[in-house]
């Protein structure tokens, strides 16, 4: 069986757009007075780009990656688009939640958002440093909106 996919999905998120989205994510958070780091992760769990904001604290870079990695890991199979949704889903089963915490790079905390094209996840943007994952996710959404017209993102 031959499965045809759009070029954007087959190739993933191009580096140039990942950088643009990451820069906008940091700019959006800084505008709100929040110093953050951002990671854009591909569908293989590899960082496409990671940026540490000028005044962000040391742990934020790793945590941003882990939040995005969590969305990439669980999002496609369970139809979850944010790490807030992953955290809520995982918390419904305490035994599963504890097991989940033993998986390397999994962090079920709010702060990451899926990047989707034609309804298919192609990457995730993770953010850490704002006081609250909802603020992190808002900045990630701003990054996605910055590139949406270039990929015809349905988000």
Q: What confidence tens digit (pLDDT) does each residue in 13-40 have? A: 999 999 999 999 999 999 999 999 999 9
Distances 152 to 105, 122, 133 between C-alpha atoms, Å:
30, 12, 26
pTM of the model: 0.90
Are 72 and 12 within 8 A, CB to CB? Answer: no
Residue 66 is predicted with a pLDDT of: 98
Residue-wise pLDDT tens digits, 87-117: 999 999 888 888 888 999 999 999 999 999 9
Nearest Cα neighbor of 41 from 101, 123, 122 is 123
Which pLDDT tens digit goes with each residue over 109-150? 999 999 999 899 999 999 999 999 999 999 999 999 999 999
Residue 151, pLDDT above cutoff 90: no
Domains present along the chain, CATH in parentheses: 9-151 (3.30.450.150)
Closest CA to 131 of 139, 122, 143, 123: 139
Phi, psi of 60 (to 5 degrees): -65, -35
- φ, ψ dihedrals at 121, nearest 5°: -70, 130
- CA 34 to centroid of chain Cα atoms: 17
């Amino acid at each position: 069986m031959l499965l045809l996919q759009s070029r954007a999905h087959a190739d993933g998120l191009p580096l140039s757009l990942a950088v643009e989205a990451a820069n906008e994510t940091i700019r959006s958070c800084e505008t709100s007075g929040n110093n953050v780091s951002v990671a854009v992760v591909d569908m293989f769990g590899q960082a496409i780009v990671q940026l540490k904001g000028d005044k962000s604290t040391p742990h934020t870079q790793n945590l941003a990656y882990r939040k995005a990695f969590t969305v990439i890991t669980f999002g496609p199979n369970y139809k979850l688009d944010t790490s807030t949704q992953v955290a809520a889903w995982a918390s419904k089963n305490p035994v599963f939640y504890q097991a989940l915490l033993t998986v390397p790079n999994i962090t079920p905390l709010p702060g990451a958002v899926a990047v989707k094209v034609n309804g298919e996840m192609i990457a995730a943007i993770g953010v850490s440093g704002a006081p609250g994952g909802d603020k992190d996710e808002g900045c990630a959404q701003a990054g996605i909106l910055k590139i949406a017209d270039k990929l015809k993102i349905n988000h």
